[in-house]
Amino acid sequence: MKLKQKEKRANRMLSIGTWIAILAGWYLYTATIGSNSFMLPSPAEVMAAFGTIIKDGYNGISLSRHLIDSFRRLFIAVTLAAVTAVPLGLLSGYLPKIRAVVDSIVQFYRPIPPLAYYALLIIWLGIEDESKISLLFLAAFAPIYIACVSAVSGINEDYILSAASLGASQKDVFFKIILPASLPDILTSLRTALGFAYTTLVAAEMTAATSGIGWMVIDASRYLKSDVMFVGIIIMGLTGVLMDSGLQYIETKVVYWKGKD
């Protein structure tokens, strides 16, 4: 146990050291070569832009409003994806007829880049949040669904046959064997889906949006405000790490047996 704790502490220090080296290299490069605010702003310029955005907002909108608008779109979409994809994925893995109906549709649209059908979503749903949430929903749905189908397929069939031989109904098998056994993969898929939907957020906010972290990055790029772009990218990275850490914490509490012999 102590060895594992020492290894975790060493790995954590290695991660911290890596980021210190990256920041130091960034600072030294801009200090010695010279900062080009259009190409690579210095850390000081990025921090100054961050302070200005915290104080005055961006484009007349506060930073908190940008964050709230982005996360509202993101969480609504991922929640809807989880509520629909988890049961459909589990049922598709358990019942071949349902899989025959749903799987081909998911496999058809899954490889298509989100921007390829975003224009259609705008035509059908308008330029407001409906089209943006729908785009994020589709981005998050596929990884959750596929992970759930794979989780059910990987369950030892002897468990299901043993339960059936003891008189368990299909409902009992689903809720007492299929669902608990699939929980680790479900939670992992939620982490994957959240990350994938977050990367799609910029695409969702680049058309007819007036707020959001993704929109802030896109708008800053139009005016070559690299310092603001760095601020947006750093905020997205940090909030992404925080969300993933939160899901990891939930995973350790819900499926506490995962990874244990």
What rounded mean pLDDT belongs to the chain? Answer: 88
pLDDT digit string, tens, across residues 183-224: 889 999 999 999 999 989 887 887 767 889 989 998 998 888
Q: Which two tokens stand for residue 149?
A: 């189908």
Structure confidence at residue 178 (pLDDT): 86
Please, are residues 98 and 92 in contact by the beta-carbon 8 Å criterion?
yes
Least confident residue range of 59-63, 121-125, 220-224, 252-256:
252-256
pLDDT digit string, tens, across residues 18-50: 999 999 999 888 888 765 666 788 899 999 999
Structure confidence at residue 261 (pLDDT): 47
Mean per-residue pLDDT for 75-100?
93
Mean per-residue pLDDT for 71-90?
95
With a cut of 80, say whether residue 5 has pLDDT above it.
Answer: no
DSSP state of 119: H
Structure confidence at residue 259 (pLDDT): 56
pLDDT digit string, tens, across residues 52-62: 999 999 988 99
Query: What distance in Å separates the CA atoms of residue 127 and residue 131, rounded to the nearest whole number?
Result: 6
For helices 226-254 and 213-222, angle between their N-to-C axes, nearest 10 degrees = 160
With a cut of 90, say whether residue 88 has pLDDT above it.
Answer: yes
pLDDT band at 66 (very low <50, low <70, confident <90, very high): very high
Distances (CA, A) of 217 to 75, 126, 127, 164, 231: 20, 22, 19, 55, 8
State the CB neighbour count (10 A cutoff) for residue 212: 29
Mean per-residue pLDDT for 98-105?
92
With a cut of 90, say whether residue 63 has pLDDT above it.
Answer: yes
pLDDT band at 126 (very low <50, low <70, confident <90, very high): confident
With a cut of 60, say whether residue 1 has pLDDT above it.
Answer: no
Find, among 71, 102, 75, the residue nearest to 86 by Cα.
102
Give this prediction's pTM: 0.85
